Structure 1
Amino acid sequence: MMKIPLQSKKNNKFTRKQLIILIVCITTGFIIGYSYKLTKNHEKINNSYIDQEESYREDLIDQQERNKELAEELNDLQNRLREYEKSFAENEVEYEHLIEEAEKLRLLLGIIPAQGGGIQVTLKDNEYNPNSTNPNEYIVHESHVLSVINELKISGAESIAINGQRLKSNSYIRCNGPVITIDGKQYPAPFVIEAVGDSKTLVSSLKIVGGVFDQLLSDNIVVTIEEKNLIQMPSINDEA
């Protein structure tokens, strides 16, 4: 009688045990691995929170330092402002004088409108004399206009305009035949020059013996000078 079947049954029972042990080992390993992974993830999260908290703490420290610097800067500016106010109070007369000088400078530059008493000087071509060999001797030229303007500036004119065109500090004037060009704009004769300032002083400076008025008459230019109670001029920024 053969015993082979008995040995096969014993071998099959042993294999089932091994399978159970294998399953238990795999399950245990999975549980251990999963637990380890959870632990690592938890540590990473904790580390991330710690790093973020540390970053916030450093930002807060930097901001506190910056606030301290700004507070010191503000305090310094306030001290300087108090010094300026104290200086202005001690030098009120000088301060008012500087304001007046600044206002005069703005008027001369033409950046603010001007108005007040002054004079009006009109230059016209004279009638041509057929017996003259040079017709240019009866025409208003650039030099005539410039001589009037320069004399007015020297005499304290606050602002000057020619045919309504207000002059700037760097205005250029050029004669071109029967017209005159002022800062690129042409104006025909007669040339009306207006100046805001003390009218008595301005007239006296023009009519001084041997001065501009006498020179214009000797050049056959028709000149009229009028005192005006009110002359108004726009700023150079308001002109078209």
Structure 2
Amino acid sequence: MMNSENNNKKQPKKKSILLSRKYIALLIVCIITGFIIGFSYNLSKDKRTLSSASPQFEQENQYREDLIAKKERNKELAEELAQLEDKIRAYEKQFSSNEAQYEQNRQDAEQLRLLLGLSAGVGQGIKVTLRDGDYNSNTTNPNEYIVHESHIFKLLNELKIAGAEAISINGQRLKPNSYIICNGPVITVDGQQYPAPFVVEAVGNQEVLVSSLELSGGVFDQLINEQIVVTVEKSDLIEMKTISDE
């Protein structure tokens, strides 16, 4: 009887322990299920957030790519601009050189036209007058005080050396191949005869021309020593026609 009673007392205790274990297991299952549900919800929320932010992210990324591309293009354009500027400077330098050469060629051509008498001689210059010396009764040779072609040649050569651009005698323009002949008291210039006094006009730098003629022992001194009367005057305007117009 005692054993039977003891067995009856032990059975409810065992049932209580089993029920406790079931509750604990159920609790654990509920906790795990809740954790899984919560994790799934958060994961789904993050995906929705990422999904909703994705267009903005893609747009910002596109902006960054466009900005990088524009920076690269700007760099390329800056390099092209530098190359074009170098070409422009080279062209300007070449043009400046050609312009200077052109101007020099133009001046040389104009100088040649003046010397050849193909262009009018106009500008400042000087007038030199050569007259026969005063009659000297003590001399038996009249050629000693008459202007000869040699006197005129000395004057012309000095004027050319001094840079005279155009020269005329008694208004007749001289050519590179002009000839002068003395016939007693007159001279012949390219077939035209002129009596004394002989007025030689020269277009050019006045100071240089006069200084060249007045050098000590120069042309003026030589002419005066040979009894030739020489006068010189500066003129602000000397005009000579072209040879073809004469």
TM-score category by the smaller chain? Answer: 0.5 to 0.7
Deviations 1:82-121 (A, max 9, x none): xxxx976651101110001000100010011110000000
Q: For residues 90 and 134 of structure 1, do their structure 2 counterparts lie closer, same or farther at Cα, with a shift above 3 Å needed?
A: closer
Match for residue 161 of structure 1? 168
Deviations 1:55-107 (A, max 9, x none): xxxxxxxxxxxxxxxxxxxxxxxxxxxxxxx9766511011100010001000
Residue 226 (structure 2) pairs with residue 209 (structure 1): no
Q: Write the distance in 2 (CA, Å) between the matches of 1:105 and 1:87.
A: 27
Residue 146 (structure 2) pairs with residue 139 (structure 1): yes
Secondary structure at 2:168's aligned position in 1?
strand
Contact 1:114 1:159 in 2 (8 A): yes
Match for residue 129 of structure 1? 136
Secondary structure at 2:135's aligned position in 1?
coil
Q: Write the distance in 2 (CA, Å) between the matches of 1:169 and 1:90.
A: 32
Match for residue 113 of structure 1? 120
Residue 191 (structure 2) pairs with residue 193 (structure 1): no
Q: Write the distance in 1 (CA, Å) between the matches of 2:161 and 2:173.
A: 17
Secondary structure at 2:176's aligned position in 1?
coil
Residue 180 (structure 2) pairs with residue 179 (structure 1): no
Residue identity matched to 1:114 = G
Q: For residues 133 and 107 of structure 1, do their structure 2 counterparts lie closer, same or farther at Cα, with a shift above 3 Å needed?
A: same
Match for residue 57 of structure 2? none
> Where has structure 1 moved over 4 Å in runs of 4 or more?
86-90
Deviations 1:156-195 (A, max 9, x none): 0000000000000100011011110000111111000000
Gaps of 5+ in 1: 1-85
Q: Write the distance in 2 (CA, Å) between the matches of 1:120 and 1:148.
A: 11
Q: Write the distance in 2 (CA, Å) between the matches of 1:130 and 1:114.
A: 43
Task: State TM-score, norm by structure 1.
Answer: 0.62
1:52-63 equivalence runs, <5 A = none
The match for 1:221 among 205, 228, 232 is: 228
Residue identity matched to 2:139 = S
Q: Write the distance in 1 (CA, Å) between the matches of 2:184 and 2:142.
A: 12
Q: For residues 120 and 90 of structure 1, do their structure 2 counterparts lie closer, same or farther at Cα, with a shift above 3 Å needed?
A: closer
**Percent identity of equivalent pairs:** 64
Gaps of 5+ in 2: 1-92
Secondary structure at 1:237's aligned position in 2?
helix
Secondary structure at 1:208's aligned position in 2?
coil
Aligned residues: 154
Q: Write the distance in 2 (CA, Å) between the matches of 1:90 and 1:171.
A: 38
Q: Write the distance in 1 (CA, Å) between the matches of 2:243 and 2:142.
A: 36
Residue identity matched to 1:175 = C
Residue identity matched to 1:125 = D
Residue 99 (structure 2) pairs with residue 92 (structure 1): yes
Match for residue 111 of structure 2? 104
Secondary structure at 2:244's aligned position in 1?
coil
Q: CA deviation at 1:133?
A: 2.6
Q: Write the distance in 2 (CA, Å) between the matches of 1:177 and 1:193.
A: 19
Match for residue 10 of structure 2? none
Residue 240 (structure 2) pairs with residue 238 (structure 1): no
Residue identity matched to 1:91 = N
Task: State TM-score, norm by structure 2.
Answer: 0.61
